[in-house]
Amino acid sequence: MIDVTHRISAVARTVGARTLEAGEARVITVARSFPDPVEEVWEACTTAERIQRWLMPVSGELRLGGRYQLEGNAGGVVERCDPPRSFDATWEYGGDVSWIELRLEPEGDPDNPGTRFTLEHIAHVDDARWTEFGPGAVGVGWDSMLLGLTMHLESDMSITPADGLASRPEAWRDSMTNS
């Protein structure tokens, strides 16, 4: 059984703004600490075989300038890559283009290294859409993504979106599949 309160509390969430050349953008940030070294978290976040075990299958070229595609979801281009510390990529979904920035920072001491994971999703969101959806206008899947990554790093479990849907109460599952 998952300790939901602990999982929710482990993630820091912020909403902000950033001025880009193209204008004002909204920024959603999710961050949490992992007891794993930076190199382990980097491999889990950047290796196709590992990504499919906690998020979903990914194809393409996971390298600087490469185009990637998450099966049935977003795709984009890796615009900056500084292994094992950070990468930036476009996040293209539903005709919209936004950006993700992942930063991994070592924390803890040399005998017990850990990693601070910080992901920012930057998107141009018009005022009407922001008024209607708030931070959900930028995306609502980041908490699920972090839960999958956490469980993968803790136990090397494979978690797919279908597995997650199947584990939810029947009424909730039916509402999600019939919408």
Q: What is the DSSP string of 107-168?
A: EEETTEEEEEEEEEEEE---HHHHHHHGGGGT-S-HHHHHHHHHHHHHH-----HHHHHHTS
Residue-range domain boundaries for the chain: 4-177
56 near 49, Cβ under 8 Å? no
What dotted CATH number matches 4-177?
3.30.530.20
d(CA 20, CA 123): 10
Q: Contact 96/123 with Cβ under 8 angstroms?
A: yes
CA 90 – CA 140 distance, rounded (Å): 17
pLDDT of 178 reads 40
At 23, which amino acid appears?
G
Return the closest-CA partner of residue 75 out of 97, 50, 42, 103.
97
* Per-residue confidence in pLDDT tens, the chain, 179 aa: 667 788 888 999 999 999 888 788 999 999 999 999 999 999 999 999 999 999 999 999 999 999 999 999 999 999 999 999 999 999 999 999 999 999 999 998 888 899 999 999 999 988 898 899 888 888 778 988 999 999 999 986 665 555 554 544 443 334 334 43
